[in-house]
Amino acid sequence: NPDYVFMFPGGGAQYAGMARDLYETEPVFAEWMDQGLTILQPKLDYDIRALWLPALGQEDAANTALTKPSVQLPLIMIVEYALAQLWMSWGVQPAALTGHSMGENTAACVAGVMSFEDCIGLVHLRGQLFDTVPVGGMLSVSLPAETLRGYLGDTLDLAAINGPDLSVASGPQETLDAL
């Protein structure tokens, strides 16, 4: 009996139409998507389904809308959760759960730390909070952290040390572009 690890991504993994085939062919997946979108919809002033599964010719507009954190994060979380439920319905039970950034919330939800409804609310709130901060980004740089620190100035931060010669800077996009 192998040990499976479910890994859930964070924001930025979304696109209009993601998992459409699963929704159309897998009843367990569709059931959890429908349940999640029903929980999420009252919190919104737009039709989340129209962004997730846009009409033909509306894909570019939907993808643009999906760049907003309060839109993308709960949708990604619901897709991740529905996918986990599908795998588990097939008998693939995780021995461990992990996630990156927002994906940590999905992992906690699948583990039973919080309810599906509470997780959707938490992730939506997280997205709303991200919507309120200035647009920024991250940049992977092939330098040791101490070397990169010398280039960061007053507006950039060292966001991560991914290896001895691989670091990540974060901050305002225009400053990252200059770096």
Output the pLDDT for position 144: 97
Token pair for residue 125? 């709130």
Output the pLDDT for position 137: 85
Output the pLDDT for position 13: 80
pTM as predicted: 0.84
Output the pLDDT for position 166: 95
Output the pLDDT for position 19: 96
Low-confidence ranges of the chain (pLDDT < 50): none
